Amino acid sequence: MRILGIDPGIATIGFGVLDADRDSVRLVKCGVIETPAHTALSARLEQIYDDMLDLLELFKPDAVSIEELFFNTNITTGIAVAHGRGVILLACRKAGVTVYEYTPLQVKQAVVGYGRAEKKQVMEMVKRICRLSAAPRPDDAADAVALAICHARSATSLLFKGDRETCSTI
């Protein structure tokens, strides 16, 4: 199964592509989509949409794993991220790829085994699980790989039922 993990944003969107089966995962590619600062929101959203369509066409994932929106303290940033996430979801829909959504807690639980893990622990486990010499950079790319790992672990579980648009870690 090929999984595209997406860490949504507006300035920087992380992506990670994994090939996964019941026994292993293999990192195919990871990186970021960046939109220029001081650019109209509509132009940034258009770029995210176009770049997402390019990623979906290039890697042809079986599924997309994306982080659910989580508002911390900065509501303004959260709203901008929500705009970006919306066009990402639209691009996936237009490409006919099923989207699975996970909370940060679910991702940490699936990757580290502890839902309150620190970012450093997640990065170290991404490195180990993918058998890399170093954690992916920048952090947005590593987060996207963690999202893909989360879905790989859920989707290859015997308890997974792939007919849902959202799914929880089991």
Sequence letter at residue 66: I
CA distance 1 to 156: 9
Catalytic residues: 7, 67, 140
3-state secondary structure the chain: CEEEEEECCCCEEEEEEEEECCCCEEEEEEEEEECCCCCCHHHHHHHHHHHHHHHHHHHCCCEEEEECCCCCCCHHHHHHHHHHHHHHHHHHHHHCCEEEEECHHHHHHHHCCCCCCCHHHHHHHHHHHCCCCCCCCCHHHHHHHHHHHHHHHHHCCCCCCCCCCCCCCC
